[in-house]
Chains A and B, each alone.
Chain A
Amino acid sequence: MSALAAVTHTGVLTARQLRAFRRMPVFLAMNVVQPRICLLLFGQLFKSVVDIPGFGGGTDYLVFLTQGIVMMMALFGSAWAGTSYIQEMDRGVMDRFLASPTSRGAMIVATVLYQAVLTVLQTLVVLGVAWLAGARFDGGWRGIAVLLLAAVLLTFVFAAFSNGMALLAKAQTALIAISQIIAFPLMFLSSAIMDTALSPAWVGGVARFNPFEWAVVAGRGAMQAAPDWGTVWGQLGILAALAVAMTWLAARAFRIYQWALQPGACGLPGAPRCPAVRNRCPDRCPAAADMWTGSVFAAVNM
């Protein structure tokens, strides 16, 4: 597989996803409406937290919240990214791709890029709604650009993760359960809607290892009047590294997916081996989901 072919594949597969998106007006509308609901509901519900002594997020909760909601949209949107893989498995499209010389990496990158386009759209909607509701940001265009970058990197991480999980779980209900179980704690163990200075100390401690929090800190930091660029780029850097690692792992998940399609072939020369445990036959391989969860948590908590 040449690098050029992989790039071509990524292009045509991303275009395919965007076509599908354009053809689902309801989905498009949901993507525009949902951020407004979140922003306005959370904004009203927690309006008074800026008055709590010790709140370090400025004087306007809407401004503070907007930066958190941007990341929330990116997190939840991308946590669902794998559902399209499962639809394709159910419709036989996945087998068709895997039987063709389509680059596995391109298959992951295309869905992740598509999700990133959605994230950019949603972020712009959130910022627009917040601005109309009276929020004013100090960071200017540069701040918004860095906020978008942080949201996109966060999308890369979780969309790749979701795709990898889809390849292993192979069932919609399982994938959704896994996504929810992971996304909600990540959201609350962060400063997205509440300054961690007001939370118990352990929350702040855990949040430092939370990729979602890295994106929130970077995005919010960039939108300050005088950003601490060292912190911002530091957070973006580890987020980018995690995004690369996650994309690689998701592409590896294709191996496990394909290997699981042909059990019992161990005795044949050149037969698939258990990918996680070297030189072990598939029938004696630990359950794929166990291995995967193990390695992912290792990556998240690095």
Chain B
Amino acid sequence: MDTGRENLLLAGRLQGMASHETSVRAAELLDRFSLADAAGRLVKTYSGGMARKLDVAIGLMHRPQVLFLDEPTTGLDPEARADMWAELESMARAEAMTVLLTTHYLEEADRLAARLAIVDRGRIVVERTPGELKDSLHGDAVTVELAQPARDGTRAREVLAGVELLRGDGTDGRHLRGRADSGPAALPVLLARLDAAGVAVASATVSRPSLDDVYLRHTGRSYSPGSAAGAAVSGAAAGGAEVSA
């Protein structure tokens, strides 16, 4: 039965902050979380996204050095989720604060985490940066679509085999596939060689392995939030220090 601002003031006072300091900090947080307009409204009239932001703001009142968030975006619509991510990122930087968050959204862990641990059945199975985790897979997939497969197919395969940065993955007639430790570096080399050999290219793509691939590799299971009880991804978006679990 309290308004947004009253919730923040109460939290600050309970954390031992002085009255004046509390109202300054509350105004600052309301502003930062774009809740200033709704500050005087009862929280029960807030949308899910607003209530969640207020939740986080309450936790930030007393300037903690470490903020623990347990699935902060569960149940939010995509817009509110993107909003929350942006707030968390800027907050972690501005407050030089370590955030330890658990999430079932691999996309969220990928975006927010400076360091990421995959927990499977209560055990940390792997812990690195999201980039390192993805690099540890067999590499990026490089795919080139041939404009004239019938004419260029054989020559194209010979060129692919000659590029040291790429491991040939075979063709299916129209597509030339390879794996590279760094797809973006390998692609220009491949295209230049194909051009020199007179092979006509229709399109080219590089895809990074996703965290879903990483998850699959380390738990031996495909990720589905509904079935993966006991599995969670925790990441730390760190302004200063990092959290090691």
Contacts and interface: CB of A to CB of B under 8 A. Distances in A.
A, B in one complex? yes
Interface of A: 5, 8-9, 12-13, 16, 19-20, 23-24, 96-97, 100-102
B6 to A, nearest CB: 7
A12 B2 contact: no
Given A5-B16, A16-B10, 11 more contacts: A8-B13, A12-B10, A12-B13, A16-B2, A16-B6, A19-B2, A20-B1, A100-B14, A101-B15, A101-B16, A102-B14
B2 A20 contact: yes
B245 interface: no
Nearest to B9: A12
Contacts of A23: 1, 42
B67 to A, nearest CB: 13
Contact of A9 (B1, B14, B42): B14
26 contacts: A5-B16, A8-B13, A9-B14, A12-B10, A12-B13, A12-B14, A13-B10, A16-B2, A16-B6, A16-B10, A19-B1, A19-B2, A19-B6, A20-B1, A20-B2, A23-B1, A23-B42, A24-B1, A96-B58, A97-B14, A100-B11, A100-B14, A100-B15, A101-B14, A101-B15, A101-B16
Contacts of A12: 10, 13-14
* Most-contacted residue by chain A among B2, B13, B15 (CB, 10 A): B13
Nearest to A24: B1
A51 B58 CA distance: 63
A101 B14 CA distance: 7
Contacts of A101: 14-16
* Most-contacted residue by chain B among A12, A23, A96, A102 (CB, 10 A): A12
Contacts of B10: 12-13, 16
A93 B48 CA distance: 16
Interface residues of B, number: 11
Nearest to A107: B14
A97 B2 CA distance: 15
A23 B16 CA distance: 27
From DSSP, what is the main secondary structure of chain B's interface residues? helix
A173 B42 CA distance: 28
Interface of B: 1-2, 6, 10-11, 13-16, 42, 58
B111 to A, nearest CB: 27
A144 B101 CA distance: 57
Contacts of B1: 19-20, 23-24
B71 to A, nearest CB: 13
Nearest to B58: A96
B12 to A, nearest CB: 9
A5 B6 CA distance: 19
Contacts of A19: 1-2, 6
A187 B142 CA distance: 83
A153 B122 CA distance: 50
B4 to A, nearest CB: 13
Contacts of B13: 8-9, 12
Nearest to B3: A19
Contacts of B42: 23
Nearest to A4: B16
Nearest to A23: B1
A32 to B, nearest CB: 19
B13 to A, nearest CB: 5
A96 B11 CA distance: 10
Contacts of A97: 14
A96 B13 CA distance: 14
B175 to A, nearest CB: 52
A16 B5 CA distance: 12
* Most-contacted residue by chain B among A8, A13, A96, A100 (CB, 10 A): A100
A265 to B, nearest CB: 14
A227 to B, nearest CB: 41
Contacts of B15: 100-101
B108 to A, nearest CB: 22
B74 to A, nearest CB: 14
Q: What 10 A-B pairs are tightest by C-beta distance, nearest first? A: A20-B1, A12-B13, A102-B14, A23-B1, A100-B14, A12-B10, A16-B10, A5-B16, A9-B14, A8-B13
A13 B42 CA distance: 17
A96 to B, nearest CB: 8
Contacts of A100: 11, 14-15
Nearest to B13: A12
Contacts of B58: 96
A16 B1 CA distance: 9
Contacts of B6: 16, 19
A85 to B, nearest CB: 14
A23 B6 CA distance: 13
Contacts of B14: 9, 12, 97, 100-102
A97 B58 CA distance: 11
Contacts of B2: 16, 19-20
A56 B58 CA distance: 59
* Most-contacted residue by chain A among B1, B2, B42 (CB, 10 A): B1
